[in-house]
Structure 1
């Protein structure tokens, strides 16, 4: 914040409007956000630069001191002001029987005219600012420059501080808004789904690059246009009119077939627009094939046993002992532990230590599969269940795991819809393929794992309590490495031997020295 006046370097010099503007511009470039000045300077700076200036208002006290000190003889006092003088000053002069008159001006040039008019009217003394002081001196009229009192400056500073606080709050809000908008834009640009939305008039408001590619039109051709003009076969106006969502619809754009969802945008239960997402069915099929290859590239065999778990600390030995006891049961096991502690290692060991060791071991990372594909992966699907479904249908992972164990990692990531379907499988011991009506019995032991606090997820209504208790019949907590003491050395030596081979005896010796 800076305080500016209109005076120059000397007592009889006045800064020109150009000098004032140049000074204010320089201060603005150096970081000034708010200015204080007298009224004339305020008008010049605000008009030239468009920045906010708090004006210094003279109080009655400022004028009273100067009025009482002046002897005006047979003439009168001329008050020169930028804009009309306050009525209370003129009223006080009347009460004190002091003749006075107010002359206003709006520019340095006008100030000369104001002084000339006052002298012609018989003024014998002038009170004003720097501009009228120069004019009065040139015309021979005694003149005093009205100074701002500490009170008026403090009042202006209080106003300026309040304005600056509001400016800071607004700047924070603008940054937050900009951040949110950039985040939304990043999500729109990064998603694999095509997204387009319209407002309540049916005008296109949002379109992302994937939508441009699928629709075959640029954002410039879509934004601001009625949706029915750019997409004649769309059903977005129907959703806009009824407020009812349309999900898993098939829609064609040229030669591209898509799976489409149309959802109303509700504000206070009023439809204010519609957003639609499109997924290229060919891309979904390609993604599905990649997922299946990734899921099954390791086969359906558990290769680790309890003997493969490295460590001799009480914490890990106790955990192994508990896990071995769980292997004797067929109840569901929920494994807790941070990322990297070896949850699948324990799951495979439990399977290989159980009576199901000769059966399949099927593992799935639930977080690696899109929610709209997860149910078909777990429970399979029938031919024709959706566009692109394999001829004859496909068995799901629960069917593949029949007679063995299914291990579902990152179980806390599955959607509430999939949770309901999984709960039914655990209760009824049977599955129904997506798009089918036939019930298929399955004999599968379920082991799940998570690094989330599922109790907290239940409290936040993101995980079903009844499913949690079905999965958490047996609970296994795997300690992190930091709680396993000397196991760090054991694991370090294990991985050193595994990675370096047998021909590195000297390196092995040095590694042992480092460990100790």
Structure 2
């Protein structure tokens, strides 16, 4: 550390200060200036100030009068000014010296001493009264002009002062007024100097820490993507980053009122932040021909408002950043492209299904989609994501049945480098981690093994993941939409699916109706698919009424996916514009093992005694499984199950008896 000591005393008078500094290992350089030149406007003083700044010193040490002059010159705002401390023991020394030389002053009735100083004396007046049997008043001088000193002396006399203790200037003016005044040397100067130098070292060290903290803070703020500024309780800028200065068009704004720099700011709202702790969020203002998004929050310390943190961002910059993020998400294939408007169908069951899905999208709870293969479960999952508050965040789809169990775990949770043979050196972020802040769609969740189910349960309960080969936990915020075409309740009973995971996933259940229960939606979808594939093949196919009836009579076990593929086949094989019922039936017969049973009336269906299950054909086993899944999904409600299967209640009853399900449901 490098200090300067400014003094008006004659050479040699302050040798003790230099000796004290040397003993303490402090670099101190003494600078002498004539007492008559100690004015903030004198050329000599201005030159001294210039040298002071050029020397890059850490602090200036001086006596009280010099401290005031330096502060008037503005030095203290750039270089710390430390006044020599006048200790309580120094005050005692003054009184002891006067008492030795002029004991009569202490014997007068009502004796009162007026001690003049540039700083308040740190001493209890009761102690002076007890030790010296007199009263003491402390006159703190704010100026050095003779008129000011005389006025203070007269005021002290009026307050009953019988003698004066002070510096040479005070003693000179007191004598001119006929007042007894005594000038004494500080007998405890060494202690005062030690204390002052210690205080200077502590002050500079603290200042350096603050400056380092400020530089770190400025560095962090400059690397922020948004404009930031700290505002003092009186509305002035304490610290800011480059983006705020760029928005305001100013190179230096520290110490300036923010409302003068940005007159567009609402003064009343800002005052409410600084005084009442309110917030400003997302206000759009026009500042220097730019739309700027402004927010402000109170800065609290120990529960008290100490200012405000101001955020500023050009609206165009925010929109560009959002666009970049969206493009990045799309480029990585982590985006949902479908919306509810893409889900076609006017049937009552589809209207209800869409309504429930929209209601579910408004919440953050996990969703379980149940539906047969080909009903459009991922279409619903993407639409729910795009209708939710997470729509601008990633959407990640995983087919749990398409990956080997050994690979599914590492894909979902990621892994660290070298976690297993063939693992990337850099490791890999898992799909759940990639979906952070967004949605992950787990299709065919029923195919996940029990170990994977345990890890997924932890994600749901604790919102953390652990990569394969690592013990570090990574927090994630992700919404889970799971889907299954199998009865999870049945799998729970069979011990193939964890019951706790089932209840965690089954917070909101959406049952997607099979195509056969959607009535004329079949025709609506068929016409759309024929138009789509017909445009590609430069064909314009039309369905006759009989063709429509043929489509409606088929059960469509593969649902919308099967209908779409069938329409593509029609476009390819058809050589005429009109498609009739005969062509539909022939094409269905070519691609399906069964001809639609729904063509027969319920009266034509004979009641057949239940055969031995081991004797069922492959076709009968598939039909029995569909019946059981529909009954399971409806909770044993035969009316709902019949509607889901697209058959009558009596037909359902006969089939249940045929396959021995009538006693179970």
Of the two structures, which has the highest relative contact order with CA contacts closer than 8 Å and spacing of 6 or more? 1
TM-score, normalising length from structure 1? 0.41
TM-score, normalising length from structure 2? 0.32
Larger radius of gyration: 2
